[in-house]
């Protein structure tokens, strides 16, 4: 279908475009920006007057819960949520059941996602078999099956010799290694940040040192092996100095942060609100402010939703017994807009963290930008329209979010994937 998107404010961070430009789509790709290509005749016109036309969002951490956890969510429900949130590309952590450590499982997931014909799915393969931290996975075969990087999800490798071998192997072939820094011994049994709030509520704590010590180890391993390292879901202000020093020393390291860590801190746990039970835990107000500033100035490269749908029974338990996780696919854009407004950050720079910058981390060359010839993955939204987050408005099967009842900016009007309209607001 040939589509003409007219009268919109086109924002393309990758090409530093922010202005009134029409967009022309043909054969699933961007055919023209500003000027129609020769002989172009639109079969459909979308009037984007008063709206922003941007690349489809790219989420670096979204659990779709298949295979193995269909009672929490399904590919269908979470793909619907992605379309409603303008998210057209999803990086999937490997902690499914079974774990994404075999090419056949990765191919099956990609096939199921492709059959649904909605968001693009980019599996992150298991760094070790079964995420047990003992035996390396067949990384080369997993890449052929569709994996874009390798991770341990939330399960650290205890044996640093195995970690060293994994990073050496990945460096040899240029594979990306994504690691969440957490020392399992210091964090054992913890459910909240180890501070005044956890002490007052009697909750077992996870100290900041659990992140710092693991991060120091990962950065040292990257120095020694030359691996391309991505640190996922930072939670501590003290981590920033380590990453800056590593970069100054020539280490190839990027990092991201979950969107809820830019808005919430341990005080938001209140009276044991289980929706605020996330991993890594919400830390102090100082940490939140430092992380938010670091994303604004580019020291933190990207924002992810860390989308983790949880069933109601597991979430409505006492805080320490509840399952950690929060729904975020549909809230990634609104919460990013809210953070940008608070920091007076230009919209083009805010959108970069969830489009072009995220695309570079995941190695998605075809997405995250609106260059002529690029894949026509597009999000059209009203940055000034506000909506109240409620269980009824969330399309995700998981309704677990601490932002329920909050009015947020940004309403998606249209989502297009490879030039095909997949979502239109009613």
- Residues known to be catalytic: 306
DSSP per-residue codes, 311-347: -HHHHSS-GGGSPP-B--GGGHHHHHHHHHHHTT--H
CB atoms under 10 Å from CB of 19, counted, come to 9
Entry field: residues in the chain: 426
Identify the sign of the CA torsion 332, 10, 7, 24: negative
Give the separation between CA 232 and CA 255, rounded to whole angstroms. Answer: 6
Of the candidates 366, 192, 355, the one whose C-alpha atom is nearest the C-alpha of residue 283 is 192
382: exposed, middle or buried (Cβ count in 10 Å: 0-12, 13-18, 19+): middle
Per the CB < 8 A criterion, the answer to whether 6 and 33 are in contact is no
DSSP per-residue codes, 146-162: T--EEE-TT---S-HHH
Contacts 24+ apart (CB under 8 A), 69-74: 69/96, 69/97, 71/311, 72/309, 72/310, 72/311, 72/314, 72/397, 72/398, 73/309, 73/396, 73/397, 73/398, 74/397
Of the candidates 154, 151, 186, 183, the one whose C-alpha atom is nearest the C-alpha of residue 167 is 151
For 7, 19, 89, 231, 356, the CA distances from 59, given in Å and listed in that order, are 27, 25, 6, 15, 11
């Amino acid at each position: 279908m040939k589509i003409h998107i007219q009268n919109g404010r086109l924002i393309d961070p990758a090409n530093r475009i922010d202005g009134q430009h029409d967009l022309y789509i043909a054969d699933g790709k961007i055919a023209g920006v500003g000027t129609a290509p020769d002989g172009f005749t639109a079969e459909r016109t979308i009037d984007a007057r008063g709206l922003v036309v941007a690349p489809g969002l790219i989420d670096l951490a979204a659990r779709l819960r298949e295979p193995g956890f269909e009672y929490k969510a399904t590919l269908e429900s979470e793909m619907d949520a992605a379309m409603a949130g303008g998210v057209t590309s999803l990086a999937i952590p490997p902690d499914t059941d079974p774990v994404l450590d075999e090419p056949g499982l990765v191919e099956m997931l990609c096939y199921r996602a492709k059959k649904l014909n909605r968001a693009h799915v980019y599996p992150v393969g298991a760094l070790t078999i079964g995420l047990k931290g003992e035996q390396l996975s067949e990384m080369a075969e997993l890449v052929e099956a569709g994996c874009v990087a390798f991770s341990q999800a939330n399960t650290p490798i205890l044996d640093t010799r195995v970690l060293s071998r994994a990073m050496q192997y990945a460096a040899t072939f240029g594979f990306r290694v994504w690691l969440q820094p957490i020392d399992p011994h210091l964090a054992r049994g913890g459910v909240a940040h180890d501070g005044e709030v956890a002490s007052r509520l009697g909750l077992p704590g996870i100290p900041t040192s659990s992140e710092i010590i693991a991060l120091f180890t990962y950065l040292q391993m990257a120095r020694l092996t030359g691996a391309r390292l991505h640190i996922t879901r930072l939670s501590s202000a003290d981590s920033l100095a380590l990453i800056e020093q590593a970069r100054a020393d020539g280490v190839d390291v990027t990092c991201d942060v979950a969107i809820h860590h830019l808005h919430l801190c341990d005080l938001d746990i209140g009276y044991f609100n289980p929706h605020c039970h996330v991993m890594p835990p919400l830390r102090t107000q100082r940490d939140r402010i430092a992380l938010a500033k670091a994303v604004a100035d580019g020291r933190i490269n990207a924002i992810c939703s860390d989308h983790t749908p949880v069933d109601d029974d597991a979430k409505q338990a006492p805080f320490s017994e509840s399952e950690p996780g929060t729904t975020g696919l549909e809230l990634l854009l609104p919460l990013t807009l809210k953070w940008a407004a608070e920091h007076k950050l230009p919209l083009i720079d805010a959108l970069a963290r969830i489009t072009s910058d995220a695309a570079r981390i995941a190695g998605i060359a075809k997405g995250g930008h609106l260059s002529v010839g690029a894949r026509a993955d597009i999000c059209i939204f009203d940055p000034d329209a506000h909506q109240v987050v409620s269980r009824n408005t969330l399309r995700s099967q998981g309704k677990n979010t601490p932002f329920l009842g909050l009015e947020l900016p940004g309403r998606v009007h249209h989502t297009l994937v490879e030039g095909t309209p997949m979502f239109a607001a009613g």
